[in-house]
Amino acid sequence: MNEKRKRILIFTDLDGTLLDSQDYSFDEALPALEKVRQRGIPLVLCSSKTRAELEFYQGRLNIDEPFVSENGGALFVPWGYFDREPKGSEKRGRYLVLEFGIPYQKIREGFSEVAAKLGVKPIGFGDLEAEEISSILNLSIAEARLAQEREYDEAFYFPQKPNQEQIELAEKQFSQHGLRLTTGGKLFHLHGDHDKGRVVASLIQTYKDNWTDEFMTIGLGDSLNDLSLLEAVDIPVLLKKEDGSYQEEIPGELKVHKTSQTGPRGWNQAILELLERLDPDAG
């Protein structure tokens, strides 16, 4: 290997990024995914999805890498993946788990208490049957059940679209319970004091503890709950949204690479361009 060539790590959001926001397909990203596979580049999923959902997508993508669930609620590392294990992790089944979130039951208690006081009542996944979640998100019933297996984050929505003042009021009320409100693609999320970036930074340090080579990190996302992920990597990539816009609250000083395409097509475009730029001799 050329001594100046750096290894590459990719951290990616799923919905609206690697996955199409409507049908959850990643077919348009297959050329870039094949390049990533050929070059042995770790592809780390960082999503608001649950552990069960991420295991499902790890299978569909045919990868067995660490992943970050529920907006940074926990890091799951396959047992034996690293020689030097993540500090503070504990063995659970086939994973080493490093928790950053608070238990779902505590989140639900705060959610229910605040929801009763708000003028625009939110509805959480804990209030719904799998069939209702399936209808809202265009998921199969089986996938909706995976989305119900929440551990660190409550996904919710407002039946009537709230204005900014109402969102800020909800945010303030939740914060009094030690909970944070973040915005994803289709849903709001309620969780403890954690985010994707904090977990990604911890995982990057673990890679540094295990790799002797220098490496470059790429992060891809499309929503405000991806901001901390984009801030944690060397090359942040912001995906265009389906309506043609970009997430407005991404600060200008964060020099993001913006895609001209949306979803998996934009993901494919960005990864192929970056791999050619960073490692043109790899083929």
Which of the four pLDDT bands, split at 50, 70 and 90, describes residue 1? very low
* pLDDT of the residue at 280: 76
User: Which pLDDT tens digit goes with each residue over 9-64?
Assistant: 999 999 999 999 889 999 999 999 999 999 999 999 999 999 999 999 999 999 99
d(CA 53, CA 146): 5
Rounded average pLDDT over 85-111: 95
**DSSP-based three-state secondary structure for 280:** helix
* Catalytic one of 13, 15, 20, 222: 13
Domains and CATH numbers, the chain: 7-100+195-282 (3.40.50.1000), 104-191 (3.30.980.20)
Q: Return the pLDDT at 2.
A: 42
pLDDT category of residue 162 using cuts at 50, 70 and 90: confident
Mean pLDDT of 157-185: 86
Residue 225 CA to residue 69 CA, distance in Å, equals: 13
Residue 153 annotated in active site: no
Q: Which pair of structure tokens corresponds to residue 229?
A: 């992920």
Dihedral sign of CA atoms 108, 111, 114, 120 in order: negative
* Average pLDDT along the chain: 92
Q: How many Å apart are CA 63 and CA 235, to the nearest integer?
A: 22
Residue type, 4: K
250 confidence band (pLDDT: 50, 70, 90) = confident
